[in-house]
Amino acid sequence: MTIIVHHLENSRSQRVLWLLEELGLPYEVKRYERNRKTMLAPPELKRVHPLGKSPVIEDDAMVIAETGPIVEYLVEKADGKFGPLGHRESVLRWRYFLHYAEGSAMPPLLLKLVLGRVPLFGKKAQKRIQPMIDVHLDFIESELASRPWFAGDDITAADVMMSFPLEAARSRGGLGGRPAITAWLDKIHARPAYRAALEKGGDYAYA
């Protein structure tokens, strides 16, 4: 059965398309556009999952939501390709960055985006959020300066998960001269699978 990806424009679900291309799994894209006034997902997504969020995939009569569980499911389906590497340290890094992407890195970036839409107070509050973001970017910079990929010497699903926070960081205020992150972003954007996912997913503001 072909995997159906419920894909929202300019969203985390672009990572799912990229991973599917890397894994070589057959899939079909059902694309949704954001409301141009609110920038929220359309109500049609609630017919797929009660939260009405993307990404969501359908496979073998199952509906799976949230990027992390989707990524783990797809890695398992592909017999471990893009999964944790051999030695224990790399496995632990794989698990860490798989969850760090949404659990720690993304929240301050999302908060900055939301505050930027609030007149006056929001602009001032943004200045208090940036130091929190910088702590994460400095940490990530040091990690990527020490090895080519997040889990080790080879690309894995951990890199796929980390793509959206770092793309968002670059678009929402820049990376502040952090060359290792910039080089890593250039490297993933040059991958044939990444470019193929963009063609299937449509416009994506962060690439």
Burial 36-55 (b: 16+ CB within 10 A, else e): eeeeebeeebeebbeebbbb
In terms of Cα–Cα distance, which of 106, 98, 107 is closest to 160?
98
Beta strands 3-8; 56-59: pairing state: antiparallel
pLDDT, position 36: 86
pLDDT, position 50: 95
The CATH topology of domain 3-81+193-201 is Glutaredoxin (3.40.30)
Q: With bands split at pLDDT 50, 70 and 90, how would you rate the model's confidence at 119?
A: low
What digits encode the pLDDT tens for the residues 12-55?
999 999 999 999 999 999 999 998 888 889 999 999 999 999 99
Helices (H), 63-156: 67-77, 88-100, 106-115, 121-146
Handedness of CA 81, 82, 88, 92 (dihedral sign): negative
Specify whether the CB–CB gap between 112 and 172 falls below 8 A.
yes
Residue 127: pLDDT over 80: no
Please enumerate in sequence order all residues whose Cβ is within 8 A of that of 91, keeping only pairs 6 or more positions apart, or say none.
84, 85, 151
Q: With bands split at pLDDT 50, 70 and 90, how would you rate the model's confidence at 126?
A: confident
What digits encode the pLDDT tens for the residues 143-158?
999 999 999 999 999 9
What digits encode the pLDDT tens for the residues 46-103?
999 999 999 999 999 999 999 999 999 999 999 999 999 888 999 999 999 999 999 9
Domain boundaries, the chain: 3-81+193-201, 88-191
Q: Out of 1.10.357.10, 3.20.20.220, 3.90.180.10, 1.20.1050.10, select the CATH number for domain 88-191.
A: 1.20.1050.10
Its pTM stands at 0.93
pLDDT, position 185: 97
| Tokens representing residue 154 in the block | 């080879």
Secondary structure of residue 1 in the 3-state scheme = coil
* Strand residues in 37-193 grouped as ranges (E): 56-59, 62-65
| Range with lowest mean pLDDT among 83-87, 114-118, 203-207 | 114-118
DSSP conformational letter for 47: G
